[in-house]
Structure 1
Amino acid sequence: MTVTIKDIAKLANVSHTTVSRALNNSPFIKEKTKQKILSIAKQLNYSPNVHARGLVSQKSFTIGLFFTSLTEGTSSSFFADALKGVNSVITEHYHMFVRGIDDFHDYSTIHKQRYDGILLMSQSEHDEAFIHHVKRQGIPLLVLNRRVESDDVMNILADDRQGAYQATQFFIQQGHKQIAIIEGKEGFKSTQERKAGFLQALIDHNVPMKKEYMLKGDYHMKSGYESMEALLALKEPPTALFCSNDDMAIGAMNALYAKGKKCPKDVSIIGFDDIVFSSYTTPALTTVKKPIEKMCALGAKAILSVINGEEQEADHMKKVYVHTELVIRDSVKEVP
């Protein structure tokens, strides 16, 4: 005989709605109650029929995690942190569909029957057409990483500009005056914000900016490597380098060593993101921590709450800023 949610509810002396919330790992249920329900379900060998549930509830049990692009400007570490964040929250009852927006010729396959909710890791303003389509379809949507002006879209992002400002200011406090930057992917909002923070710090501290110290990257290690080569070829190389993400910083470090030089002895380096490899480089990389994993976990919790009818798209989720933090390690030296 098949065990149902109602059977578990009867034994636990709770409503079947409470059982459903427990099985879906909802944050809107007491931990003691949830553990009691999960224990009973395990004893009864309860196995949910996702397909049947979908037919009854008109749900697909699929969460879409979309990126502006999976290949252009999305580093492997950034991608992995985003997946870990979402995966840490959604239960085994949900499928996660991952895709880049630039893979689609049109958005006809994106509709409410296919997705219960969508998380968009937005890196460019070109995503607005996708956002507009999802809203028209009535699919719960949460945009991560980039500020959207629409008041009817939930939004979680980090203050990239402030993070870049802190990094550049730290260089200046350590006595550096010849400071270069490797920018991120052209057209990405994060690239623009980090460049703006970098320049503002120089302006506020009366540090001159040389045109040859501003190089364009693409968020991949290779561009960091090639940019460092170009900087070292200058008649007067910089003493400090701000990289718009950690992958480019690691690439820059490798180029430095390939030329027989060292970090931070010859060039101090700061990255951005604080990926897992940052603390294992030699020297350990000073970087700006952008908690991608935390942002995505918060986003997944919010979208599931809306899907399960536990919370409407509340005002407190409209614009949520997750703080960046300068993590000081060993890749910056003080100059006289």
Structure 2
Amino acid sequence: MSVTIKDIAKLANVSHTTVSRALNDSPLIKAETKRKIVDLAEQLNYIPDYNARSLVMQKSYTVGVFFTSITTGTSSSFFADVIRGVNSVISENYNLFVRGIDNYKDFHSINKKRFDGIILMSQSEVDNAFVYHVMQSGIPFVVLNRQVEDPSIINIVPNDKVGAYEAVSYLIKEGHERIAMIEGIEGFRSTQVRKDGYLGALIEHRIPIRHEYLLQGSYDMESGYQALERLIELESRPTAVFCSNDDMAIGAMRAAFDHGINIPNELSIVGFDDIGFAHYMTPALTTVKRPIEQISIEGAKKILQLINEPNQPGELIFVDTELKIRDSVKKM
């Protein structure tokens, strides 16, 4: 016969409510009492009945992690960083439910009975309908990656504009003036703010903006490869290329190699994200470290706080990027 909360309560000489709170890590229980109860539960091999707990507590013990899309515009490294960050915080008492918003025709199945909290890794304003639905549903909610206008939402974002500005300013400092950009997916917030940073650096240093140097990509290696092929066909080739993410930078580096162009001696390349492969490229890729895992960790902490204390005020939190200078840029 399996051990129950009442059995633990009898042995610990406390109420079953105290045991329940202690096992749920409630701050209302003294640390010494909590430790005693947890030790007893382990000794007795207590296994919680999550179905019963869900009925009693009116909780699903599920946290949803939603992306704009898992199949379009979300690189494998970006996806892995998000899940690794969230998973490192969310305790084993919760299940993680991971899905792309574009998988849904409507959002009726997303409600308080199914989710105790939702983390949205937002990449586009297309998400706004989802944001509105979750807010109307009253589900504790945190938005990461994209700045949203509603001040009632807890919103954690990387400072992409500053990161892009610093990357392009570094290229200018190294003597480059013919600087191209391979952009991300049109309509994504990250695409626009990184372009703003690129343009801001050129304008501040009084370098003319050449529209033939602005090429649309789609955040994958293939689009970086194709864009670089178009750039090297120009009569006045750029001496440097700023790519909106590392996947496109890697694709561009491969295209340069296939066309016999030496990096960095004939062409400098800078990426954005600092994925795991960036350090191991030949040459190692200069890039902007975008702390997606750290943002996801902070988002997971916030959602747990909101689940326990739903009436917290909205907050906009910026997380700094960092320029990682490696070997893919030549000083002119």
What is the TM-score of this pair, normalised by structure 2?
0.92
Task: Give the percent of matched residue pairs that are identical in Structure 1 and Structure 2.
Answer: 56
The Cα of 1:36 is off from its aligned counterpart by 6.5
Deviations 1:246-287 (A, max 9, x none): 110111111111111221111111111111111111111111
Deviations 1:188-212 (A, max 9, x none): 0000000000000000011122111
Partner Cα separation in structure 1 for residue 280 and residue 30 of structure 2: 39
Which structure 1 residue ranges, 5 or more long, are not aligned? none
1:1-336 equivalence runs, <5 A = 1-5=1-5, 11=12, 15-16=18-19, 19-22=22-25, 38-307=38-307, 309=308, 311-315=309-313, 318-335=315-332
Partner Cα separation in structure 2 for residue 217 and residue 152 of structure 1: 34
CA RMSD of aligned residues (A): 2.4
For the residue of structure 1 that corresponds to 2:65, the secondary structure is strand
> Structure 2 vs 1, CA of residues 34 and 184 (structure 1 numbering), >3 Å: closer, same or farther?
farther
Partner Cα separation in structure 2 for residue 193 and residue 7 of structure 1: 58
State whether residues 12 and 36 of structure 1, in contact with CA within 8 Å, keep that contact through their aligned partners in structure 2: no
> Structure 2 vs 1, CA of residues 31 and 295 (structure 1 numbering), >3 Å: closer, same or farther?
farther
The Cα of 1:58 is off from its aligned counterpart by 0.8
Deviations 1:161-198 (A, max 9, x none): 10100000000111111100000010000000000000
Partner Cα separation in structure 2 for residue 83 and residue 56 of structure 1: 29
For 1:55, the aligned partner's letter is L
Q: How many residues align?
A: 329
Moved more, 4-13 or 52-61: 4-13
> Structure 2 vs 1, CA of residues 106 and 32 (structure 1 numbering), >3 Å: closer, same or farther?
same
Deviations 1:78-98 (A, max 9, x none): 111111111111122211111
For the residue of structure 1 that corresponds to 2:85, the secondary structure is helix
Partner Cα separation in structure 1 for residue 174 and residue 148 of structure 2: 36
> Structure 2 vs 1, CA of residues 12 and 163 (structure 1 numbering), >3 Å: closer, same or farther?
farther
Partner Cα separation in structure 2 for residue 314 and residue 194 of structure 1: 31
